[in-house]
Structures are given as structure tokens and as C-alpha cells.
Structure 1
Amino acid sequence: MERLTGSAPLPAAFRGGVIALGNFDGFHIGHQAVVARAIDRARAEGRPAIVATFDPHPASFFRPGLPPFRLTTLDQRARLFAAAGADAMLVIGFDRALADLTPDRFVEEALVARFGAGGIVTGFDFTFGKARAGSTAMLAEIGPAHGFTAEVVGPIEDAGGPVSSTRIRRALETGDCEEAARLMSRPFAIAGRVIHGDKRGRTIGYPTANMDMADYQRPLYGIYAVRARLDDGRVIDGAANLGIRPTFDPPKELLETYLFDVSESLYDREMEVELVSFIRPEAKFDGLDSLVAQMDADCEEARRRLSAAA
């Protein structure tokens, strides 16, 4: 799958493509339905299938003080789009110039001039252009005059209403990994480089691979049963502490993952950690003995839950 930038005209091979247009952070089952429709239509019409996403997220552009809320990185989205069958991911830089485009100018300058869109597929709640004045109905109405047709994929709903990234974030904030995974069709996963910590874990028999949370949505602090995907392709079960480690000073927010039956150094390697199940909240312990005893119990519980989830 190719990775394209929206700042310049697309290569000739991708012009005339069917573009799934949205942000797709989280790439939940509603997003997947939009992309699947775009890919199906592209295949039927003999066109490239392109998934467009905005970076940075428009919400963070307009409200830079927002707490971290991202559910996926661009690299994670690229892997997910490729697995779905897209021919290309189109990354549209979201800046003041783009934000100030009227809906008509966005269509003319971006969709037509730069991207050469032959078709557009969006979700039901997609808006675009200055002050979010552009709607899916507008796209459908003005598209044919610009050489493309637009269609809308309706919401995927369950008992909780339409599936949305907001619902996933709320589930993570309460530690409901299973609900988040159901809405996303996969566990929420944090990817990054393993960094050096204070190395306390190795002194008590629990060496951890530590990662910064960066711009990810903060799940409920606590202990999780996890699966880690290493950069060599291995998938390894483990238990992780996500939070500020209240037993130790000074507090420092980290994702600290203890991988079962792994002794090698993982420093500076890339790793993706799936949060499979929340075990318990963070707690402060009076001493190392009580901490180690609890970690023993946490790992046993993590093994049990991961075995049940396999």
C-alpha cells in the first residue's frame, strides 16, 4: 500500500480513485464499513481505493489544549488500511489554510485539483470546509459537476447507539477493554519505542519494557493483561502497569510491560502493546514484599484472562 501526501497533486496512477474520506482515528467498525464500501466500489469500477485521513486531528488543531485523545497513530492506521485492502493512504495535513477553505473551495482545490477524485465515500456525520459548513448532502449534490459521485454509509448501531470513537474513549477511561475491543474489532493498542526507565523492576524479578504514552488516549490507570507485538513479529503475553507508579517517587507516567518468559533486552526497539483486560486499579504498597506478592497474583490473573481470551 502506498502512503500519499495531500499537499500535492496525486500521482497519475491514483487519480480517479474512490476515496474514503474521514479521519478514521480508531478505525472502529463504523469506519471499517465506510472503507469497505469505498474498496468494493473501487474494485467494481476498476479504480484505485484510497483512504484519506487528517493529520493533525482537526480537534487538536482547533483546541490545542485538549488532553491526549488519539486512538491510533498514522503508522497504525496505515497497517489497518492496508489490511482492509486499500491501495493507498492519503494523509491530508490539517492547517489554517485548509481550515479556512470554504466547502466549495475544498471540493475544487483538494478533491478535484489535487486528488482527482472519481468517487467519495463518507460516514453519515462527515462535515468539511470552513466552520464545518459542508455536508454529505452537499457533496452528493455538487459532485457530478466536478467529475465524481459521493455516497454516505449509515451508522453502525447497537444497544448503545451509533458506534463512535467517543464511545471507545469512554470505555477505555473506565477500563472496559472488552467493550473497546468490540467496537474496534480488535484490542486498543499502544505502539512506540521501548525506553530506559529507572530499572527498579529488574531488582524485584519483574523487568519491564517501558513506553511513553505520547498522544494516546489515557485509559484508566491500573494493571492490565496484555499482548505485545514485537518488531520481529513475535506476539508475547504479559502484564502491564499503566499509570504513575504510586509506590515509587517521583511519579512518572509510563506503560510498563512485563513480558512472560522473555529475558532479552528490548531497549530502543519498537513494540505494540494490546490492552486485553483490566485487572485492578493502581495501588500504593507499604513495601516491596507486598508489591511483589501482588505482582505475582496479577501475573497469574493475567495469564488466566489471556488464556480465556485466546
Structure 2
Amino acid sequence: MIVFDAPEAVPADFGPSVVAVGKFDGVHAGHRALLQRARRDAERLGARVVAVTFDRNPLRTVRPEICPDDVVGPSQKLDLLAEAGVDACLLLRFDAQRAAQTAEDFISEVLVQALDARVVLVGRDFRFGNRGAGDVAMLEAAGARDGFVVDVVGDVHPDAAERRVSSTWVRELISAGDVAGAATLLGRSPSVRGEVVHGLKRGRELGYPTANVGGAVEGLIPADGVYAGWLVDGGERHPAAISVGTNPTFDDVHHRQVEAYVLDRDDLDLYDHRVDVEFTQRIRGMVAFEGIEPLLAQMADDVRQARGILC
């Protein structure tokens, strides 16, 4: 997938294109339905599929006090869009200048001049431009003038549920530790991405060496607890028991951390590797134990349960 960071970076002869516009936070089942429709339109027209999205949630610029945490980070989002069959992504920097851009100028600069859009796909509640002044009706009127068709893609409801798939719902489930429920909306397990860093090495001392994912972690970290999941290092996937939290038994970790014990492996050197940790199922919440022996017994049971879920 080609990534452009500004409209002027798009070559003059790039179009025609079929354009899907949105925040795409999580690239969930609703987003993928829109992108699948875009792929069909592109094949019919002999055009490219382009996702137009932003380097951050627009609320982080215009209303930071109410901006929710991201379901996925920028690099995760780009990878997911590529996996969904997008040919190119225009990843716009959503700064104060972009926030002030009128809806009319967005249509002219991005959709018409840069991308030569023939079809523009959006959700039914799509708003754009300064203060959200642009809506589907405005976009359709512009399309009739500028030569593109607007395709409004309906909501996706899992298993006939009344509630539609949304990033908000995904966020609620992950924050509650219901990673299996979130996976039904995402079409994959929720995950975080980050660099394996040196920790206190207590897991190794206890017989369960863990990869401590630290630094600037991308993706929404689920509720504190222990999970079955996968550590993905490049092309290799390893089954893992994953701990999220502050290690209350020892009370010497002052920030939430993600630690993954690769089942039955103590020979992996993952330091400084950038890895993905996928959460498949929650095993239990995080608790403080009265001493090492109860903790070790519980860790052994956690590993047993993780193995049963994954292997």
C-alpha cells in the first residue's frame, strides 16, 4: 500500500480513484464493509482504492478534553488498511490548519484535485470540514458538480444485534477486558504494539521469563488481568500467557505494563524487537497474593489455562 502524507504528495496522474473517508479507528467490521464495497467499485471502474484518514483522532486537536483513547495506533491502522485491500492511504495531519479547512475546500483539494475521485464512500453519519459543517447531502451536491458519486454504506450489526459496530463499542469491550467480545466486532483479536524493553526480570526469577512491552505502545491496552493470546515477532507467532497491570503482589511497578510469557520457551531473545501482542481471551482479573507460593501456583494455572485455550 502506498502512503501519502499530504494531498500535494499524490502524483498528478494517480487517479482515477474510489475513495473511502473516515477515522478508521480499529478498522472494525463496519469499516471493512465500506472498504469491501470500495474494492468492488474500483474493480468495476478500473480505479484504485484510496482510504483518506487522519494521523490522530480529530478530537485530539479540537476537543482534547473529550477525546477517547485510540483503539489502534497509526502504524497498526496502516497495516490493517493494507490487509483490507486498500491500494493507497492519504494520511492527513489533523492539526489546527486542517481543522479550520472548510468542507468545500476539503472536497476540492483532496477528493477532486488530488485523488480524481469517481466514487466516494462514507458512513451515514459522516461529517467533515470546519465544525463538521459538511454532511452527506453537501457531498452529494458536490459530486453532481464535480463528477463523482457518493455511496453511503449502512451500519453493520453483529448477529442481528440492535447496536451497530463502532469504535466506541470496541473501546468499551476492550476497556472492560472482554477481548473475545471485541474480536467479534473487529474480525480479529485486539492487540497492542511496542518494543520489548528490559524490566525487573522478576518473571525470569520465578521461572516464567516475560517480554515486557514498553515505550510508546500503540493500541488500547485492555483491563488489568491475565489473558491468553499471542506474541507476534515479525513472521513468527508464539502462544503466550499475558499479564496486564502493575503487579500488585510486589507493589513496585508504578505504571501499567504488558508482559507476555511465551509458553514453554525460555530461549527467545526479544529485547529491542518491535512486537505485537494479541489478546484472545481473558483468564482472570489482577489480584495481590499473600506471598510467592500462592502466586507461583496461580501462574502455573494461568499457563495451563492459556495452553488449553490456544493449543
For the 8 Å contact 1:240–1:257, the answer to whether it is kept is yes
SS in 1 for 2:276: strand
SS of equivalent residue, structure 2 residue 307:
helix
User: Where does residue 143 of structure 2 map in the other structure?
Assistant: 143
- The answer to whether the Cα contact below 8 Å between 1:102 and 1:129 also exists between their aligned partners in 2 is yes
Residue 302 of structure 1 aligns with an amino acid whose one-letter code is A
Equivalent residue number for residue 163 of structure 2: 161
Separation (CA, whole Å) in 1 of partners of 2:129 and 2:65: 22
Give the corresponding residue for 2:93: 93
- Please list the CA deviations of residues 10-58 of structure 1 after superposition, one character each: whole Å capped at 9, or x if unmatched: 1135322111111111011100011111111011101111112211111
1:56 is matched with 56
Structure 2: runs of 5 or more not aligned: none
How many residues are treated as equivalent by the alignment? Answer: 306
Q: Determine the C-alpha separation between the residues in 2 that align with 1:67 and 1:289.
A: 43
Hey, which bits of structure 1, 4+ residues long, moved more than 6 A? none
Separation in 2 of the partners of 1:72 and 1:13?
Answer: 32
Q: Quick one: which amino acid aligns to residue 126 of structure 2?
A: F
8 Å CA contact 1:68–1:217 kept in 2: the answer is no
1:295 partnered with 2:309 = no
Return the alpha-carbon distance in structure 2 between the equivalents of residues 95 and 247 of structure 1: 43
2:206 aligned with 1:194: no
Whether the 8 Å CA contact 2:62–2:99 is kept in 1: the answer is no
One-letter amino acid of the counterpart of residue 37, structure 2: R
TM-fit CA distance, 1:275:
0.4
Q: Counterparts of 2:228 and 2:260 in 1: how far apart (Å)?
A: 9
Which digits, 9 at most, give the CA deviation of each residue in 1:91-127, with x for residues without a partner? 1111111111121122122222333323211111211
1:265-303 deviation digits (Å, cap 9, x = unpaired): 100001111100011111111212211111001110111
Task: State the AA in 2 paired with 1:219.
Answer: P
Instruction: Provide the residue aligned with 1:278 in structure 2.
Output: 282
Asked if 1:217 corresponds to 2:220, the answer is yes
| Distance in 1, Cα, partners of 2:264 & 2:298 | 19
Q: SS of the counterpart of 2:223?
A: coil
Cα distance in 2 for partners of 1:115, 1:75 equals 22
Amino acid in structure 2 at the alignment position of 1:184: L
TM (normalized to structure 2)? 0.93
Contact 2:15/2:116 (8 A) holds in 1: yes
Select 1:179's aligned residue among 178, 181, 192: 181
CA distance in 2, matches of 1:238, 1:125: 40
Does structure 1 retain, via aligned residues, the 8 Å contact 2:194–2:274? yes
Counterpart Cα distance in 2 of 1:113 and 1:300: 58
On the 8 A contact 1:6/1:114 being kept in 2, the answer is no
State whether structure 2 residue 74 is matched by structure 1 residue 74: yes
Determine the C-alpha separation between the residues in 1 that align with 2:146 and 2:242: 52
- How many angstroms apart in 2 are the aligned matches of 1:66 and 1:196? 34
- 1:252 aligns to what? 255
Give the aligned partner of residue 134 of structure 1.
Answer: 134
Residues 1-40 of structure 1: matches in 2 within 5 Å?
A: 1-40=1-40
Deviation at 1:258, TM superposition (A): 0.4
Structure 1 unaligned residues grouped into runs of 5+: none
| Structure 1 residues 206 and 63: CA distance shift in structure 2, 3 A | farther
- Residue 108 (1) aligns with residue 111 (2): no
**Greater shift in the superposed pair: 273-282 or 138-147:** 138-147
**1:59: Cα distance to partner?**
2.1
Aligned equivalent of 2:207: 205
Contact 1:23 1:54 in 2 (8 A): yes
Deviation at 1:77, TM superposition (A): 2.1
Q: State the TM-score, normalizing by the size of structure 1.
A: 0.93
CA distance in structure 1 between the partners assigned to 2:119 and 2:307 by the alignment: 47
1:161 counterpart SS class = coil
Q: Distance in 2 between matches of 1:269 and 1:293?
A: 30
**Secondary structure in structure 1 of the residue aligned to 2:34:** helix
| Residues 54 and 94 in structure 2, CA contact (< 8 A), matched pair in contact too | yes
